[in-house]
């Protein structure tokens, strides 16, 4: 039976092993590959990142993201041999499982004989046509061990048959073991030990053949790439590979494979290489096209010493591709006007102000992201997305603006309150949106520049008529405030008509002609301040910080409460003013002293009096009323109509 295998030598030469000796049988999975590795000169060890790894290097399939399927079929050697290849791989959380089938079949080959008359080879009519079938089925498994090492293997089941007057069948098993190690982000090496146990084929009748294989060693280098995973950073990708096939149990010499794969585009691969075996060096070329999760591969494989072999190979693979599509559904559309400069409630001494604003329409959409893996799955998520589009037309204080989207203008400011208003429209819905900023132009005192720490409280207190400066245009912010000055501040912040009050105070040192008599009288009546046991008020006495805060806490109507621990580190427990200082600190009236000592016996300066008074609820209501309406008089209340100064803007 074995001698008939010699008739298959030419047919099986496409697989390179020479079956010239009894006892050696062909493993078709050794060299019958798909077009991708064939286009790279037969390089396989470092490129087993698809279903082809079932036969070439199972350990290379551990990083598969999608199930993969590869198939090829064609005629070989003068169209007399049918070559079939199919492999499938499934990644799971337990590892990668795979199956594969490859084989070749020759049917109807006519036997020949030597013509005694002419000494030529002629058809032997006395014998039946010869047929040959050789196939292998593989079960595969691979798993990553640690960060850099992957192991894999496959169990192969061989089937061979001969027909044509000497029918016979043979079966056997084989085992491949493989490993892949990643030495660096750009260098990977591996090995695949084919038919490690050199399985035997048991033929009918008792004969047997040995199935040999190769010890395949190889590696892959990421030469170019857009990330740090490549040896050289580049917008295109280039991979190189080298394989060495050391035969065992096979009548063939050591084979070498050198190849490269280049991606000028994300889904287009160009390939080339050299296949070096006992027949010589063959040039290989190839191309791969990926679309919709499928990859089409073509290879040109030149085989020296094999006449009549067509060098063109084709294969089709499902490699998987996750495609994301985004669809938006408009839920709401509303105007959105935001001032970037200046901020609202801005205090300045400048005559002009620069304006930067965004006049946009805010689009609220239901955004659906769908991830589709061709023929496998579809997942999606729904989120709320916000987008913006320019409002058009846009008006600044009633004047049309030629700018849309981002508005840049300048505006003159009058003394006092100023309002800049932007109105924009959503087209074609004609829905209007409005935004405004309010500013106070204030002339600072000579000793309180705009960079002074309490300039906002001082400016608002002066504007609201709570405090005044001195005739020399100074404010004397560090000057200690007197009892008469502080009570005057408090009464001025209250809605009272002092013209109707009697300036009698009842204090021995405050006559009816004293400049603060009416304020002291009303403040005493409201129990904001009290006199001394000797019947005096001491209007010119400078208040200590503890006394000033106590008066302002009473004015703010804070509930007296003795704190568990002293409110400041330099105040002792049981200090007489703690029941006023503690509540004032809790409501934020003393934030300017955060991280500092209180200094209860230190003079209470005018600047601090303005700051603490500014933080009281009563004055905050006055301040907010001013920003909303422009009113500055507490006595007027809502009897006066709101005053508004809208400025005219100039486009830059």
- C-alpha distances out from residue 231 to 45, 239, 240, 272, 307, Å: 19, 10, 11, 20, 41
Separation CA 593–CA 580 (nearest Å) = 15
Confidence class of residue 80 from pLDDT cuts 50, 70 and 90? low
- For 599-643, how does the pLDDT look when each residue is reduced to its tens digit (9 = 90+)? 999 999 999 999 999 999 999 999 999 999 998 875 444 333 334
- C-alpha distances out from residue 517 to 402, 449, 530, Å: 59, 32, 14
Tell me, what's the pLDDT at 212?
82
Separation CA 256–CA 345 (nearest Å) = 80
Please give the distance of CA 346 from its chain centroid, rounded to a whole number: 37
- For 456-506, how does the pLDDT look when each residue is reduced to its tens digit (9 = 90+)? 999 999 999 889 999 999 999 999 999 999 999 888 888 887 776 777 778
Separation CA 149–CA 183 (nearest Å) = 9
3-class SS at 26? coil
Tell me, what's the pLDDT at 584?
95
Tell me, what's the pLDDT at 83?
85
Q: What is the DSSP letter of 467?
A: -
Tell me, what's the pLDDT at 381?
87
Q: Which of 75, 319, 49 is nearest to 190 (CA)?
A: 49
Separation CA 5–CA 369 (nearest Å) = 60
Q: Tell me the whole-structure pTM to 2 decimals.
A: 0.56
Q: How many CA atoms lie within 13 A of 62 on its CB side?
A: 23
Backbone angles phi, psi at 58, to 5 degrees: -55, -35
Q: Are 111 and 127 in contact, with CB atoms under 8 Å apart?
A: yes
Q: Are 45 and 216 in contact, with CB atoms under 8 Å apart?
A: yes
- For 395-407, how does the pLDDT look when each residue is reduced to its tens digit (9 = 90+)? 999 999 989 899 9
Q: Which two tokens stand for residue 557?
A: 């109507």
Separation CA 250–CA 278 (nearest Å) = 13
Backbone angles phi, psi at 306, to 5 degrees: -120, 85
Tokens 């009519």 belong to which residue? 125
- For 560-604, how does the pLDDT look when each residue is reduced to its tens digit (9 = 90+)? 988 888 999 999 988 999 999 999 999 999 999 999 999 999 999
Check whether 411 has a pLDDT greater than 80.
yes
Question: Which domains does the chain carry?
Answer: 2-107+126-320 (2.40.160.60), 324-441 (2.60.40.10), 455-629 (no CATH)
Q: How many CA atoms lie within 13 A of 147 on its CB side?
A: 3
Tokens 């857009």 belong to which residue? 226
Tell me, what's the pLDDT at 157?
93
Q: How many CA atoms lie within 13 A of 390 on its CB side?
A: 12
Q: Are 626 and 347 in contact, with CB atoms under 8 Å apart?
A: no
Q: How many CA atoms lie within 13 A of 315 on its CB side?
A: 30
Separation CA 288–CA 479 (nearest Å) = 86
The DSSP-derived string for 238-301 is: EEEEEEEEEEESSSS--EEEEEEEEEEETTEEEEEEEEEETTEEEEEEEEEEEETTEEEEEEEE
Determine what percent of the chain is predicted with pLDDT higher than 70. 88
Q: Which residues contact 18 (CB under 8 A, 6 or more apart)?
A: 9, 251, 252, 278
- For 95-148, how does the pLDDT look when each residue is reduced to its tens digit (9 = 90+)? 999 999 998 887 766 666 677 777 776 766 666 667 788 899 999 999 999 889
Least confident of 46-55, 162-171, 262-271, 413-422: 162-171
Check whether 455 has a pLDDT greater than 50.
yes
Backbone angles phi, psi at 408, to 5 degrees: -125, 120
Average pLDDT, the chain: 85
Determine what percent of the chain is predicted with pLDDT higher than 90. 57
Tell me, what's the pLDDT at 529?
85
- For 266-325, how does the pLDDT look when each residue is reduced to its tens digit (9 = 90+)? 999 999 999 988 778 889 999 999 988 899 999 998 876 665 566 889 999 998 888 888
| Cα dihedral sign, 189-194-197-198 | negative
CB atoms under 10 Å from CB of 12, counted, come to: 22
Mean pLDDT of 6-35: 54
Q: How many CA atoms lie within 13 A of 339 on its CB side?
A: 23
Tokens 């169990």 belong to which residue? 155
Q: Which of 223, 221, 203, 222 is nearest to 211 (CA)?
A: 203
- For 164-212, how does the pLDDT look when each residue is reduced to its tens digit (9 = 90+)? 666 788 888 989 999 999 999 999 999 999 988 777 787 877 777 888 8
């Amino acid at each position: 039976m074995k001698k008939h295998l010699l008739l298959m030598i030419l047919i099986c030469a496409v697989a390179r092993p020479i079956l010239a000796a009894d006892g050696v049988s062909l493993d078709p999975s050794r060299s019958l590959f798909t077009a991708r590795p064939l286009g790279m000169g037969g390089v396989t060890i470092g490129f087993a990142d698809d279903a082809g790894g079932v036969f070439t290097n199972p350990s290379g399939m551990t990083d598969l993201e999608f199930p993969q399927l590869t198939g090829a079929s064609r005629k070989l050697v003068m169209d007399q041999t049918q070559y079939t290849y199919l492999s499938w791989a499934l990644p799971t959380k337990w590892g990668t499982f795979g199956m594969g089938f490859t084989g070749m079949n020759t049917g109807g080959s006519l036997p020949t004989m030597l013509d005694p008359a002419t000494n030529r080879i002629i058809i032997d009519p006395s014998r039946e046509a010869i047929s040959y079938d050789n196939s292998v089925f593989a079960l595969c498994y691979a798993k990553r061990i640690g960060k850099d090492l992957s192991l894999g293997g496959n169990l192969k089941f061989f089937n061979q048959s001969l027909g044509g007057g000497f029918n016979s069948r043979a079966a056997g098993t084989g085992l491949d073991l493989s490993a892949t190690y990643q030495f660096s982000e750009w260098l990977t090496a591996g090995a695949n030990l084919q038919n490690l146990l050199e399985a035997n084929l048991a033929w009918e009748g008792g004969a047997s053949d040995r199935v040999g294989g190769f010890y395949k060693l190889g590696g892959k280098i990421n030469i170019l790439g857009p990330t740090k995973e490549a040896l050289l950073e580049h917008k295109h990708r280039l991979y190189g590979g080298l394989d060495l096939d050391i035969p065992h149990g096979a009548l063939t010499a050591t084979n070498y494979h050198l190849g490269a794969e280049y991606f000028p585009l994300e889904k287009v691969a160009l390939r080339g290489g050299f296949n070096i075996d006992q027949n010589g060096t063959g040039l290989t070329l190839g191309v791969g096209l990926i679309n919709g999760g499928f990859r089409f591969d073509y290879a040109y494989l030149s085989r020296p010493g094999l006449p009549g072999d067509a060098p063109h190979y084709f294969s089709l693979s499902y490699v998987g591709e996750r495609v994301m599509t985004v669809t938006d559904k408009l839920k709401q559309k509303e105007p959105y006007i935001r001032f970037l400069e200046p901020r609202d409630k801005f205090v300045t001494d400048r005559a002009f102000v620069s304006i930067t604003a965004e006049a946009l329409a805010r689009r609220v959409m239901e955004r659906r992201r769908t991830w589709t893996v061709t023929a496998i799955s579809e997942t999606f998520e729904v989120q709320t997305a916000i987008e913006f589009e320019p409002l058009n037309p846009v008006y600044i204080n009633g004047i049309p603006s030629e700018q849309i989207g981002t508005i840049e203008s300048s505006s003159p400011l009058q003394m006092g309150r100023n309002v800049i208003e932007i109105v924009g429209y959503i087209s074609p819905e004609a829905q209007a949106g409005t935004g405004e900023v309010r500013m106070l132009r204030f002339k600072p005192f000579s000793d309180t520049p705009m960079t002074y720490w309490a300039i906002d409280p001082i400016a608002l207190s002066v504007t609201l008529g709570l405090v005044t400066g001195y005739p020399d245009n100074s404010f004397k912010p560090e000057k200690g405030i007197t009892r008469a000055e502080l009570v005057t501040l408090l009464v001025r912040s209250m809605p009272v008509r002092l013209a109707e009050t009697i300036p009698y105070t009842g204090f021995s040192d405050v006559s009816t002609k004293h400049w603060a008599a009416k304020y002291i009288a009303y403040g005493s009546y409201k129990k904001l301040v009290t006199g001394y046991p000797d019947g005096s008020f001491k209007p010119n006495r400078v208040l200590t910080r503890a006394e000033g805060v106590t008066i302002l806490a009473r004015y703010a109507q804070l509930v007296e409460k003795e704190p568990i621990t002293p409110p400041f580190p330099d105040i002792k427990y049981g200090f007489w003013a703690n029941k006023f200082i503690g509540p004032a600190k809790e409501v934020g009236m003393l934030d300017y002293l955060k991280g500092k000592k209180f200094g209860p016996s230190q003079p209470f300066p005018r600047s601090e009096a303005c700051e603490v008074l500014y933080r009281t609820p009563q004055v905050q209501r006055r301040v907010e009323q001013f920003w909303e309406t422009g009113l500055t008089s507490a006595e007027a209340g809502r009897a006066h109509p709101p005053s508004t100064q809208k400025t005219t803007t100039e486009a830059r």
